[in-house]
Each structure stands twice: as C-alpha cells, then as structure tokens.
A = this chain, B = another copy of it.
C-alpha cells in the first residue's frame, strides 16, 4: 500500500467484525510500531495486546461507564448543542462520532483485539503516540481497522492497571486504548479542516503560502 493511501484513509474504524486478527498480522503491526522515534531513542515503552474474553469482560463495563461519563462531562455542552441543531454540519459530524463511539462501548467484548500502549518519562506524549499511530497505519495496510481512545485512562486508569497486571510503582502511563479488527464499513478519506486554514507561516495567523481546499490525495477510481 502506498504511504499516502495509508495516511489519508486510516480513519477511526470502531465498527469491526469479531474475526480474530492473526498472530502474524499482529507481529507485523508491532514490528512496524517499534520503528517509531522516541525521545533520545529511549524506547521506554511497553505494549499490551488483549484478546482474552475474560479480560475484555472485565474492562468492558468500565469502558461503557467511561463513555457514559464522557457525554455528561467533556462533551456535555457539545452534545446538547448538536441535539439542538441537528442539521448543522458540525452537529452532524459530532453526532456521527458520538454514535460510533457508543457502538464501541456497546460492543466492547466483540472487538477481537485491543492494544494498550504504556510509556515512562514522557511528559508530552511525543515518545509514544508516533509508535501508536505507526501501529494503526501498519494495521490499515493489513486491512485492520483501529480507533484510538483515551477515556479509559481518564476515568478508570487504576482499575485497568489492576486488571492488566501493570506494576504501579514504575512510573508507567497508559497512553491510550486502541481497538482493532476487520472493519464492517469501507475505508475513505475523512473530512478535515483544510491544512491551509490551520497552518501559518513564521508568525501566528499569517497564511502559509499554499492552499489546499481539497485533499491532495484521492483514492484511484
């Protein structure tokens, strides 16, 4: 797969089939992930792959509760706004994400594989998220859909450490939870604010000197 196809079409794929991700595919994903950079090349990372139904059955209820909390805290006003103006493009987009996130919560135990990345000594996240994103891009190349979520660590970090047997006195931070599986839907280029609107040149607010109203890469018909 071409690098641009992977970069443009690796969008959040929460709805997946229960079919397992074969071990050799998982090996490809993780082998690609560890090529990513980390501060001072320290590689203070660990990755936990979870496919045991008994473990998923313990985390599922926590995840569902965390998602419930999300709608009543972080996204409460945005959700209210979206319901008040359901025909607004921003509302449509938000409610689409919300529905998809709720699907993952409702079907947590059916998703075949979860990747939990952990990192030490990384105040910015810059030493773990390149590896996580590489894993997701390699997964895309193998036809595996993924979605990165943060809320489990926001609300149930301690409980998840307990369930996964993560040592508590070594400074590990759970960076995210990534769901993985073969998608039920189709790949496509996600909608984004154009690059030229969020990029400046030399000074904040100065136009970048290029214009990208439409994505520069499109799938070949």
**A2: CB under 8 A from chain B?**
yes
**A219: CB under 8 A from chain B?**
no
**A26: CB under 8 A from chain B?**
yes
Per-residue CB contact flags for chain A residues 190-202 toward chain B (1 = under 8 Å, else 0) read: 1011111011111
- Interface class of chain A by DSSP: mixed
Q: Which residues of A (32-62) have their CB < 8 Å from a CB of B?
A: 32-37, 39-41, 43, 45-52, 55
What is the CA–CA distance of A130 and B133 in the complex, to the nearest angstrom? 6
Chain B's closest residue to A39 (CB) is B150
A34, A35, A164, A208, most chain B CB atoms within 10 A? A35
| A129-B137 CB under 8 A given contacts A41-B93, A190-B35, A200-B48 | no
Q: Which 6 A-B pairs have the closest CB atoms?
A: A125-B125, A129-B129, A27-B210, A30-B195, A130-B133, A165-B204
